[in-house]
């Protein structure tokens, strides 16, 4: 069974990887993803120029429908992840994620990456929902265009963007109209569904501390929105912009469905957090089983092959 994909000239021997932010905070965690059977790549925790502690208090919770998080962008700094990525980029194609709190921070980090020995892929996170007072850039189409214009004036290495989920067909049209104007290597869709709220039934209290309990939703609850965003963007984006599908992956059928909607790679967040890096081998085996049932021996045979009723 062939389960490879290519983005920006990189060949991925497996289509699975971690979702940024999950199991990728330290070199110890990153090494586990790097060596996990079934994982074809990894992405580092979204970085800021300087180290950040993130939001105080309980900031992650699992629940029957998935997870809720308001981490607040805790990370060990761009240099920490850049050093790791440079040290390991010859072992697998790797993604380095950045999430500046300002356009200036993003451009500063991109200049540093441009001038560095890192030659993998950069994921510009435009969708963190959990920094108090900071809006999700991906919902501001003019600002997104502005950042990409200033970025592509100097940045020549493979770059993609991590997008928030969109819930209006008009917004699929609008973000695609922006993205199609730039030589992006990929989009990664979706980030968590921003600013949900969950209650602990024992105590009638919000499950997480930051922002009065408001946080990004992931896991099973995110699957229909992830499928719609992968499909909606695949249908609208230039063929040269590849799609990483993220959201709601619990089993091989979920991976299959994201590929069916157009995903080239598939990333796993909540279920990786709950199960650990052995999840990749399980998902790979379950995907192979699903493909066998359907008569496919290569993911390239059914990518974007979703049927509709009319």
Q: Would residue 24 show up in a list of annotated catalytic residues for this protein?
A: no
The end-to-end CA distance of the chain, in Å, is 31
Alpha carbon distances (Å) from 64 to 29, 172, 218, 221: 25, 29, 11, 9
Nearer to ligand HRO, 70 or 250 (CB): 70
Q: How many residues does the chain have?
A: 310
Nearer to ligand HRO, 44 or 192 (CB): 192
Alpha carbon distances (Å) from 97 to 34, 73, 207: 15, 11, 28
Binding mask 209-228 for ligand HRO (x = CB under 6 A): -------x------------
Q: From the CB of 254, what's the least distance to ligand HRO, in Å?
A: 18
Binding piece for ligand HRO, criterion CB under 6 A, among 29-37, 122-130, 226-234, 281-289: 122-130
Q: From the CB of 98, what's the least distance to ligand HRO, in Å?
A: 10
Separation CA 210–CA 236 (nearest Å): 36
Q: From the CB of 2, what's the least distance to ligand HRO, in Å?
A: 31
Q: Out of 41, 67, 97, 128, pick the active-site residue.
A: 128
Among 18, 21, 113, 256, binds ligand HRO (CB under 6 A): 21
Cα angle 217-196-268, degrees, rounded to a multiple of 5: 5
Binding piece for ligand HRO, criterion CB under 6 A, among 82-90, 123-131, 147-155, 285-293: 123-131
Q: Which of 194, 218, 94 is nearest to 135 (CA)?
A: 194
Q: Would residue 261 show up in a list of annotated catalytic residues for this protein?
A: no
Contacts of residue 244, Cβ cutoff 8 Å, sequence gap at least 6? 17, 160, 186, 187, 188, 189, 263, 264, 265, 266, 267
Among 25, 125, 225, 229, binds ligand HRO (CB under 6 A): 125
Q: Out of 41, 67, 97, 127, pick the active-site residue.
A: 127
For ligand HRO, the binding residues in 38-77 under the rule CB under 6 A are 46, 69-73
Nearer to ligand HRO, 75 or 290 (CB): 75
Does position 267 bind ligand HRO by CB under 6 A? no
Binding mask 85-114 for ligand HRO (x = CB under 6 A): --------------x---------------
Among 44, 137, 189, 192, binds ligand HRO (CB under 6 A): 192
Separation CA 245–CA 75 (nearest Å): 23
Among 128, 222, 268, 279, binds ligand HRO (CB under 6 A): 128
Q: Which of 234, 211, 199 is nearest to 304 (CA)?
A: 234
Among 48, 106, 144, 191, binds ligand HRO (CB under 6 A): 191
3-state SS assignment for residue 237? coil
Please work out the total of residues on this chain that contact ligand HRO, with binding judged by CB under 6 A.
15
Alpha carbon distances (Å) from 170 to 9, 131, 154, 175: 32, 26, 31, 9
Unique residue bearing structure tokens 């993003």: 106
Separation CA 155–CA 164 (nearest Å): 23
Angle between helices 27-34 and 78-88 (to 10 degrees): 30
Catalytic residues: 127-128
Instruction: Report the interface residues with ligand HRO, using CB under 6 A.
Output: 21, 46, 69-73, 99, 125, 127-128, 130, 191-192, 216
């Amino acid at each position: 069974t062939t389960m490879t994909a290519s983005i920006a000239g990189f060949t991925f021997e497996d289509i699975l990887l971690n979702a940024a932010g999950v199991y990728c905070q330290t070199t110890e965690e990153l090494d586990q993803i790097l060596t996990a059977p079934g994982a074809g790549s990894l992405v580092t925790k979204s970085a800021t120029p300087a180290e950040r502690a993130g939001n105080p208090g309980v900031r992650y919770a699992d629940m029957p429908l998935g997870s809720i998080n308001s981490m607040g962008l805790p990370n060990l700094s761009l240099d920490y992840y850049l050093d790791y990525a440079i040290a390991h980029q010859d072992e697998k194609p790797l993604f380095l994620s950045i999430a500046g709190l300002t356009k200036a921070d993003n451009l500063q980090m991109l200049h540093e990456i441009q001038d560095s020995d890192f030659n993998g892929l950069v994921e510009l996170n435009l969708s963190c929902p959990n920094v108090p007072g900071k809006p999700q850039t991906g919902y501001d189409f003019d600002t997104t265009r502005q950042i990409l214009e200033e970025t592509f004036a100097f940045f020549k290495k493979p770059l993609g963007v991590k997008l928030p989920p969109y819930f209006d067909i008009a917004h699929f049209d609008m973000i695609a109209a922006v993205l199609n104007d730039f030589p992006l290597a990929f989009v990664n869709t979706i980030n968590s569904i921003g600013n949900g709220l969950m209650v602990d039934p024992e105590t009638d209290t919000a499950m997480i501390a930051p922002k009065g309990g408001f946080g990004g939703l992931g896991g099973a609850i995110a699957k229909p929105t992830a499928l719609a965003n992968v499909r909606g963007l695949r249908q609208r984006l230039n063929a040269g912009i590849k799609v990483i599908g993220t959201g709601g992956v619990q089993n091989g059928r979920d991976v299959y469905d994201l590929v069916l909607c157009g995903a080239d790679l598939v990333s796993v967040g909540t279920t990786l957090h709950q199960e650990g890096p052995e999840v990749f081998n399980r998902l790979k085996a379950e995907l192979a089983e699903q493909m066998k049932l359907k008569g496919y021996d290569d993911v390239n045979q059914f990518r974007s092959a979703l049927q509709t009723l009319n």
